[in-house]
Structure 1
Amino acid sequence: MDVYEAIATRRTIRDFEDKPVEMSIIERVLDAGLKAPTNNHLRQWEFVIINDREERAKVLRVKNMAGRDECDKMLDGFGLTDEVQRNMFHEAMPRQFSMLYNAGCLILPFFKVREPLLHPSSLSSLNDFASIWCCIENILLASASEGIFGVTRIPMAEESEHIKTVIGHPDNYVMPCYIALGYPAKNASKPKQKNIQIREKMHTDKW
């Protein structure tokens, strides 16, 4: 599969087969992540792989949102009106825990920070944060080429504190998201993509 096919194939999946992802595949997709561009050329990234369900239960302090009414209340509060966008949240919110717990592989990526992530002194201070997301995208595309799909989820502050306690990572490393990967369930829901034409987004010389 070439890179354009992998990009076109990649989809967010939250419903997985009860099937682990082979460690050889995990190593390949993480190695693809390491090929991503990095701001300081050191690739100061680490990955904690959690395959054991009991260990996942210790790490995860994520709650599924109970129902559609609760979700709608949240979306209304955010001022979200686009139907495709709202439908995506309706798919996602009830699966916040299950999509991480039931995945064939759960990866916790970490990157080294030079100063507090949420209090950057300049835009350049976010270079480390930008680089790890290039790495994560490589992982998702490499996974798609293997027939494996998944989802990312950014942790809440209290989740990050809990993960630090359980995992024991150094103070100067931050986890930007969970990466859940696996083989899609036969009835896996695939949220509709917003149809956007590239020429609508292109500007020549000026905006």
Structure 2
Amino acid sequence: MDVYEAIATRRTVRDFEDKPVEMSLIERVLDAGLKAPSNNHLRQWEFVIINDREERAKVLRVKDTTSRDECDNMLDGFGLTDEVQRNMYHEAMPRQFSMLYHAGCLILPFFKVREPLLHPSSLSSLNDFASIWCCIENILLASASEGIFGVTRIPMAEESAHIQKVIGHPDNYVMPCYIALGYPAKNASRPKQKHIQVREKIHMHTW
């Protein structure tokens, strides 16, 4: 699969077959992640893989939002009015725990920080954060080329504190998201994405 095909193929999937992802495949997609650009050229990234379901249950402090009214109230509070966008959230919010728990592979990526992530002294202080997301995108594209798909979730503050307590990672490492990967279930929900025309996003010489 060439790179354009992998980009076009990659889709967020939250419903998985009950099938593990082979460790050799996990190593290949993580190796692709490690080929991403790194701002300090050291690629100070670490990965915790949790494939045992009992261990996942200990790590995950994520709740599904099962009430449509609760979901709508939250979206209204965010001021979201686009129908396609709201439908995406309606698909995602009831699966926040299940997508992480039932995935064939759960990866917790970590990156080393030089100063507190939420209190940067300048925009360039976020270079470490930007670099790990380049790594994560490589992982998702490599996974798509292998026929496995997945989803990311950015943790809430209380989730991050719990993960540090359970995993025991150093204070100067931060987990930007969960990465759940797996083989899509046959009836996996794949909601319609908002169509974007590239020419509508291009500005020549001035905005």
In 1, the alpha carbon distance for the partners of 2:126 and 2:99 equals 29
How far did 1:158 drift?
A: 0.2
With structure 2 as the length reference, what TM-score do the two structures score?
Answer: 1.00
Other-structure match for 1:152: 152
Provide, for residues 146-203 of structure 1, a one-character-per-residue CA deviation record: whole Å limited to 9, x for no partner: 0000000000000000000000000000000000000000000012111110000001
Provide, for residues 33-77 of structure 1, a one-character-per-residue CA deviation record: whole Å limited to 9, x for no partner: 000001000000000000000000000000000211110000000
With structure 1 as the length reference, what TM-score do the two structures score?
Answer: 1.00
Percent of matched pairs sharing the same residue: 90
How far did 1:112 drift?
A: 0.0
Other-structure match for 2:55: 55
Provide, for residues 84-112 of structure 1, a one-character-per-residue CA deviation record: whole Å limited to 9, x for no partner: 00000000000000000000000000000
2:88 is paired with a residue of what secondary structure? helix
In 1, the alpha carbon distance for the partners of 2:29 and 2:137 equals 10
Task: Say what the alpha-carbon RMSD is for the aligned residues.
Answer: 0.4
Aligned residue pairs total: 207
How far did 1:140 drift?
A: 0.1
In 1, the alpha carbon distance for the partners of 2:168 and 2:195 equals 42
Q: Which runs of 5+ in 2 are unaligned?
A: none
In 2, the alpha carbon distance for the partners of 1:67 and 1:16 equals 22
1:20 is paired with a residue of what secondary structure? coil
In 1, the alpha carbon distance for the partners of 2:151 and 2:196 equals 21
In 2, the alpha carbon distance for the partners of 1:170 and 1:192 equals 40
Other-structure match for 1:81: 81
